[in-house]
Structure 1
Amino acid sequence: MRIPLRLLLTACLGMAASAWAKPTLYIIGDSTVRNQTAGQRGWGDPLVAHFDPAKIDVINRAIGGRSSRTFVTEGRWDAVMANLKAGDYVVMQFGHNDGGPLNDERCRASIKGTGEETEDIVRKTDQQPETVHTYGWYLRKFVTDTKSKGATPIVLSLIPRNIWKDGRVGRSTSDYGLWAKQVADQAGAPFIDFNNLLADRYDTLGEEKTTAIFANGDHTHPNPEGAELNATVLTEALRKTDLANYLLPADLWLPHVFSDHMVLQRDTANPLWGTTRAGSPVTATIAGKTATTTASADGKFRLDLPALPAGGPFTIEVKTSDASRTFSDVLVGEVWLCSGQSNMDFSVAKTAKRYFAGTTNWEQEVAQANHPQIREFKAEFTPREDPQPDVEGAWKPCTPETAGDFSAVAYFFARELQKELNIPIGLVTTSYGASTAEAWISKDKLVADSTLKPLQETFWKKFIAYRDNAKLFEDYGNAMTKWAASDKKKKGPGHPDPIRDQHNPAVLYNGMIAPLVPYGIRGAIWYQGESNVNVRQLYPALQRTLIEDWRARWNRGDFPFLFVQLAANKAPGPDPASSSLASMREAQATSLTLPHTGMAVTIDIGDEKDVHPRNKQDVGARLARLALHDTYCKKDVIPCGPVFKMSEIEDGRVVLHFDHVGTGLVAKDGALKQFAIAGDDRKFVWADAEIDDEDKVIVSSPTIPRPAYVRYAWADNPAGANLFNSAGLPAAPFRTDP
């Protein structure tokens, strides 16, 4: 079920505005810059990870097989120009495809050199006339056009091919590499001699090791390892340009999840990771204890902070050979990952960014939210094609000034835990409205499951269609320009890139889960499902795969995974009937077969007209009960409402047995409702139901003398469903028919 457009309006406005709030770096080029061929990779994609996502957006518009000429003739440059604004940057690298005949089956070659020579042709490809220019002319166009928008062009020479002679890799010093430099000098643009920089690095590696970082049997296209190396070399060169301010620091960088006010997981080693200079020693100190390591050849490091009991505040100091970072007001307690779609993203207060939010009595809740030992790290919406090393966000203690923006479910969950445990609680909230389950699962895990692999394949076809149609991006840029100049009262244009669609596989895992792994956590709470109702037959596999994926990534065993079953919604029906939401709830409940999982039932606190029920207090409290009972071993806490165990047919009646009844089953507010019964024909009618002893319900109907099946609360909105236990918790919906 997709969230209605009206519920996404403000979110879309905010997304559209934020899309142009920061500067953007556009990367243009060929397959050595961006490559979707198996075993090959361009340097442009790994380059993204070298920039601070809080400071700049990076969009790689390069595409395989293109030359400086075809990047223009196919409208790809027009598309970039339609989106380019003052303060942006364009990094360009062409040359590999600019050689050859001007008029052949590809029509991509440019005239050699940097002059003003032209040749008029009628293209063999489509019989259209074209005036072909020199390689230098096309580069000058990119530079001049970029400057006309108030943006900054940066010209690169092309990467070297893996072709060796006399113990050295070949260089492009007399043709495309030279011409790129000449154009940059003439046009007053920064130039990076990428060709020579990489050739020098390849010479140092030697022919055998260089061949190992190119795709098998290919002398032009690097493999992923080679692309990473190329991106690292380019990053160091970019530090000498204006882009230096947007790059992650070279001396010491740690992800945003490490910040002042963070909460570390108690009683376990806590991973701390980042980058520094290759081979640099790294030392981290907390509470008088120290952990050390040495950065690898690519500058990456990870160490484990020593285990500490709950407490604080502490200071963490991280030192390398020439830099240091200090984090203050660090607490140690219980840390939970909080994820899902809008009902997890739903904040305590109604805010400009989350207009649909605001819990019951939210003004009072915010005013009383003085819990500085509850802290939240909230990840910004960051869909990405590939797993990223960082996501924007910062830890904030819970005070009346900050609590309004906390995830409501996460906050009320934490409040209950802290009340019982009396220790700091950390919430790592990474959620987004209308997101599907598959968006939060890694691509590798999805394609490994034959039932889920088609989701990834369908998405990839959509992405390729977008990639190959430059007009879509151009139209978006023109629409954004028009919207930015308006009063902005109307919805901003939606971005056509399927990577930015939170319904698509792996995109939120890449941008919002991968950057947080392996931060120390106790477990996860999950509130999602509305966006998967229409494919609910896949949901058992989706939720199981997500749980397994996250547990494997964090490598903390079968950590607790507690989830919320969908609340009642839509108008109640007069008679028993099939129900998409009921079958979705059933699909969610299948995950209870996995170890250390728990389900909070919410059919009694839904809203007929709103997919976002206001009562998040009970949702958080019910999740906390599950954690207190199963994770923290407080066995006096009843974890959930009655759960159907088995049925027996006796004398025209069906006897239902339940677990988790507390001191006994309860019919809240009168006779039991929402029980339906049927014979072998499965034609259900409303049934009479009454509690027997402490843990049984007897169901019957005079119209069904030979009953076979029973259903309870089997409806989109089972209004009046009132089977509870002694702790005041509702029974989970169920059916006995297969």
Structure 2
Amino acid sequence: MSLRIVFIFCLAVWAAALPCVAKPVLYIIGDSTVRNGTGGQMGWGDPLVDEFDPAKITVINRAIGGRSSRTFLTEGRWDAVMAHLRPGDFLLMQFGHNDGGKLNDERCRASIKGIGEEAEDIVRVTDQQPETVHSYGWYLRKYITEAKEKGVTPIVVSPIPRNIWKEGRIGRSDRDYGGWAKQVAAGEKVPFIDFNNLLADRYEGIGQEKTAALFAGTDHTHTGPAGAAFNAKAMAGAIRGLADCQLGAALHPADLWLPSVFSDHMVLQRGMAIPVWGRATAGAEVTATLAGKSATTKAGDDGTWKIELPSLDAGGPYQLKVSSGAATRDFSDVLVGEVWLCSGQSNMDFTLAKTAKRSFSGATDWEKEVAAADHPQLRTFSAEWKMNEFPQRDVPGKWTICTPQTAGDFSAVAYYFGRGLQERLKVPVGLVTCAYGASTIESWIRGETLAAHPQFKDLLKNFSTKNRTFRDDPKPFLDYGVALAKFKGGKAPKNPDPFQDQHNPYVLHNGMISPVVPYAIRGAIWYQGESNMNTRKLYADLQQSLIEDWRDLWGNPDLPFYFVQLAAHKTPSVEPGGGQLTEMREAQAKSLAIPHTGMVVTTDIGDEKDVHPRNKLDVGKRLARLALVKTYGMSGESSGPIFRESAVEGNRIRIRFDHTGGGLVAKGGTLGQFAIAGGDGKFVWADAAIEGDGVVVSSPSVSSPTQVRYAWGDNPAGANLYNTEDLPAAPFRTNP
């Protein structure tokens, strides 16, 4: 490695290790019109998250149904938010719907009407505890004052109007909670959004019938998903219009927006229509131009638009230009070639170099590999680690050209896979990398897909229970905030929010997959499974669901899906026997029954002590071989030997295989890791030898054999059956 490359690499590692300037956080507090856990209902706070650029700000919605300005304080919810507030953050608050009624009843949530300083001492009938109840305005002022003391910008929002009409007009709250909220904001000199009148005007503009469709059934207070999105877009516009408030700068642009997967240096898929999508002003005309070809469409009522540009042959560089009115977005150095989705958990997230962010990484000879990684037509879009409760429209990331200065941050498996494709295909290759360490497979699948399968009912039920528990008890969020305030480095405290846990269903689909759909891809490679050991009996169904889900999302029932069977790990067994890893490999292999799939075997390149084997070169090369043969139609063998059938021949069993290539090989000597059993089911190590196109297996201690196993162990050290293409045989048992 040259001194210049060493210097540049060390500089990059040093820069990555510097403390990051934390993004500001927008905290939202309020009631069920802001965040709703009732089926069929949704508050505006959740879709508002999607109006912000996740690269600029984090949005945390801490509103909860049934709460008032008073109970948000008395239940400890405000203290929990306070524990997280940092200088530069923002606080959006909307209360009022639940502040009416008696002060001391079965809910004890009403506040004193108005904004005065009057108070009333009570003993709550709910728990016999004393409480001093204050006015609606007093509670708002408390939140504002304490937020300001933390260096936070508070924004007061008046309650949304209820769907109650009289003489062609919808009811407004100028004389009560809406008016009081405005008075408090003015008195405290903080931004105010007159959401009540803003939405009332918009509801009246579309009429009573269309307004009713925004609410949940016959409910006149709670919106459904359509109403929540309608209100969130209105809120985003109101935030954008706030004077002397920087929050609007973190919103996606209103005139023309495209997701981050469109950036300079991108690779677009050759040979198929090229989808380009985003948002613009409702009803505006949008035009996209690439390589001299243009297409035009109109943005819908919600501002969304999608254009399909005609397919192109491999080539470039081009410029992609998208315009709407005076707004334009220009993307330069655009190539057209082959694009693959690369996903999974840490073994896919494992980068070519060891970096500050991924200290567990670093492939074999990574320093040498990085120094030689000058491949300007190999590029990656690496999505940031993001999880969410709802599908998002963007994930931070950008396209990066493969150079010695950037290659260290490439997924090692994806890098070797892409390099293998490019060497043979001689076209640009793009890698859309969406991977997250320790993630389960169900975290990458849509919630509605999981819900359609009864066998996943318990997964979703357990997740729902976690969510309700976290929603109802503010203490875990409080404790997390306290721990973060004390955190000075080392292992960060764990976020207790179930929607921020990569082990849970659909959260990574929502945060990382949804934002890149429907970016045109040729296929997907997948390396995952270690985190599903406890649900391995469901894994075959889960992986099939993932494949079907992605094929449905991309509108391609034949989308190639090539996956890595888990590598050898743990201490080799002295006696024949399986384990959790063994069972997981068998579950993974069942997906080979699905058309247009392929499996890479890695039992020969694992690590006894490290779940992250360093040899990612062979993993990537074997994935590339699968794609080159099965997707691109090149000659050669795509896989190592895979068990096809067995036959008992007296005191021995003959095994035959698919994918024998030019023949079977006992690599390094006598075949090992074959075990045989008779009717008693007790396995012993067996003698095995290659005969013609098969392997015969026997043991002097088993006179009447019934079944054979090969490489049937978590770490089957000594498994050495290959084909002449140097591809290892997959583990198998003849009697599953």
Deviation at 1:578, TM superposition (A): 2.6
Task: Say if 2:672 is the partner of 1:673.
Answer: yes
Name the structure 2 match of 1:41.
42
| Partners of 1:16 and 1:493 within 8 A in 2 | no
Measured at CA, do residues 16 and 133 of structure 1 come closer, stay the same or move farther in structure 2, by a change above 3 Å?
farther
Answering whether residue 283 of structure 2 is matched by residue 263 of structure 1, we say no
SS in structure 1 at match of 2:173:
coil
CA-atom RMSD, angstroms? 1.1
Partner residue, 2:466: 462
From 457, 464, 476, the counterpart of 2:480: 476
Once the two structures are superposed, the pairs formed by residues 221-620 of structure 1 within 5 Å of their partners are: 221-241=222-242, 242=245, 243-483=247-487, 486=488, 488=489, 490-620=490-620
Three-state SS of the structure 2 residue aligned to 1:610 is: coil
Shift of 1:146: 0.8
> Which segment is superposed worse, 474-483 or 428-437?
474-483
SS at match of 1:538: helix
Q: What letter matches 1:75 in structure 2?
A: G
Measure how far apart 1:106 and its partner are: 0.1
Shift of 1:453: 2.2
Q: Distance in 2 between matches of 1:17 and 1:737?
A: 55
Q: List per-residue Cα deviations over 1:578-626 (Å, max 9, x = no partner).
A: 3211111000000111110000000000000100000000000000111
Q: Is the CA contact (8 Å cut-off) linking 2:17 and 2:357 kept in structure 1?
A: no
User: Shift of residue 557 of structure 1?
Assistant: 2.5
In 1, distance between residues paired with 2:479 and 2:573? Answer: 45
Determine the C-alpha separation between the residues in 1 that align with 2:615 and 2:517: 31
Residue correspondence of structure 1 range 159-238 to structure 2 within 5 A: 159-238=160-239
Q: Which residue of 1 aligns with 2:8?
A: none
TM-aligned CA deviation for residue 660 of structure 1: 0.9
Contact 2:654 2:694 survives alignment (8 Å): yes
Quick check: 2:548–2:557 contact (8 Å CA) kept in 1? Answer: no
Q: Separation in 2 of the partners of 1:381 and 1:478?
A: 24
1:9 paired residue number:
none
Query: How many percent of aligned residue pairs carry the same amino acid?
Result: 65
CA contact (8 A) 2:354 2:360 kept: yes
Letter of the 1:731 partner, please give it. A
Letter in 1 for 2:698: S
Distance 1:100 1:202 in 2: 27
Shift of residue 651, structure 1, vs aligned partner: 1.6
Separation (CA, whole Å) in 2 of partners of 1:580 and 1:22: 41
Opposite residue 116 of structure 1, the aligned amino acid is: E
Give the 3-state SS of the residue equivalent to 1:83 in structure 2: coil
- How many correspondences in the alignment? 718
Partner of 2:6: none
Q: What amino acid does structure 1 have at the position aligned with 2:515?
A: P
Residue type of the partner of 2:397?
A: G
1:100, 1:713 → 2: CA distance?
A: 70
Give the AA of the match of 1:354.
R
2:33–2:223 Cα contact (<8 Å) kept: yes
Partners of 2:714 and 2:493 in 1: how far apart? 33
Deviations 1:30-57 (A, max 9, x none): 0000001111100000000000000000
* Distance change >3 Å, CA 211–CA 100, structure 1 → 2: same
TM-superposed CA distance for 1:322, in Å, is 2.1
1:629-668 pair list within 5 angstroms: 629-634=629-634, 636-668=635-667
Aligned equivalents of 1:737 and 1:681: distance in 2?
13
Please give the alpha-carbon distance, in whole angstroms, between the structure 1 residues aligned to 2:708 and 2:564: 24
- Change in 2 beyond 3 A, CA 1:449/1:17: farther
CA offset digits 1:84-107 (Å, max 9, x no partner): 000000000000000000000000
Distance 1:520 1:493 in 2: 38
Residue 660 of structure 1 aligns with an amino acid whose one-letter code is H
Runs (4 or more) in structure 1 with deviation over 3 Å come to 14-18
Q: Secondary structure at the match of 2:455?
A: coil
Q: Distance in 2 between matches of 1:516 and 1:638?
A: 32
1-side partners of 2:164 and 2:373: how far apart? 65
The Cα shift of 1:298 comes to 1.1
How far did 1:15 drift? 13
Letter in 2 for 1:612: H
Give the conservation status (yes or no) of the 8 Å contact 1:40–1:221. Answer: yes
Deviation at 1:534, TM superposition (A): 1.9
1:719 equivalent in structure 2? 717
User: Match for residue 690 of structure 2?
Assistant: 691
Contact 1:375 1:397 in 2 (8 A): yes
Letter in 2 for 1:685: V
TM-score, with length taken from structure 2: 0.97
How far residue 479 of structure 1 moved from its aligned partner, in angstroms, is: 1.0
Paired residue secondary structure (2:454): coil
Distance in 2 separating the partners of 1:560 and 1:471: 46
Deviations 1:170-220 (CA, angstroms, capped at 9, x unpaired):
000100000000000000110110000000001011111111111111000
Alignment-derived partner of residue 87 in structure 2? 86
**Distance (whole Å) between structure 2 residues aligned to residue 446 and residue 17 of structure 1:** 39
Equivalence map 1:619-634=2 (5 Å)? 619-634=619-634
Q: TM-score, normalised by structure 1?
A: 0.96
Letter in 2 for 1:21: A
CA offsets per residue over residues 465-496 of structure 1, 9 Å max, x none? 0111111111111111111xx3x2x3221111
Counterpart CA distance in 1 for 2:674 and 2:721 is: 10
Matched position secondary structure for 1:383: coil
Whole-Å separation in 2 of the counterparts to 1:345 and 1:84: 31
Q: Secondary structure at the match of 1:452?
A: helix
How many Å separate the matches in 2 of 1:223 and 1:605? 52
Are 1:16 and 1:494, in contact at CA under 8 Å, matched by a contact in 2?
Answer: no
Task: Indicate the SS of the match to 2:615.
Answer: coil
Q: What amino acid sits opposite 1:230 in the alignment?
A: N
Contact 1:16–1:492 at 8 Å: present in 2 too?
no
Are the equivalent residues in 1 in contact too, given 2:51–2:251 (CA < 8 A)? yes
Q: Is the 8 A contact 1:143 1:153 kept in 2?
A: yes
1:556 CA drift (Å): 2.1
| AA at the equivalent of 1:647 | S
Q: Is the 8 A contact 2:280 2:303 kept in 1?
A: yes
CA contact (8 A) 2:676 2:697 kept: yes
SS of equivalent residue, structure 1 residue 509: helix
The letter for the 1-side match of 2:166 is K
- Deviations along 1:534-584, one digit per CA (max 9) or x if unpaired, are 211000011000110111011122200000000000010111013211111
The answer (yes or no) to whether the contact 1:194–1:234 under 8 Å persists in 2 is yes
- Tell me which amino acid in the other structure corresponds to 1:729: L
Runs of 5+ in structure 2 lacking a partner?
A: 1-15
* Structure 2 partner of 1:704: 702
Q: Which residue identity is paired with 1:661? A: T
What is the letter of the counterpart of residue 640 of structure 2?
G
1:16 offset after TM fit, Å? Answer: 14
Question: Which moved further from structure 2: 537-546 or 491-500?
Answer: 491-500
The whole-number CA distance in structure 2 between the counterparts of 1:60 and 1:125 is 27
Contact 2:375–2:402 (Cα < 8 Å) also in 1: yes
Distance (Å, rounded) in 2 between the aligned partners of 1:682 and 1:508: 42
Distance 1:383 1:669 in 2: 46
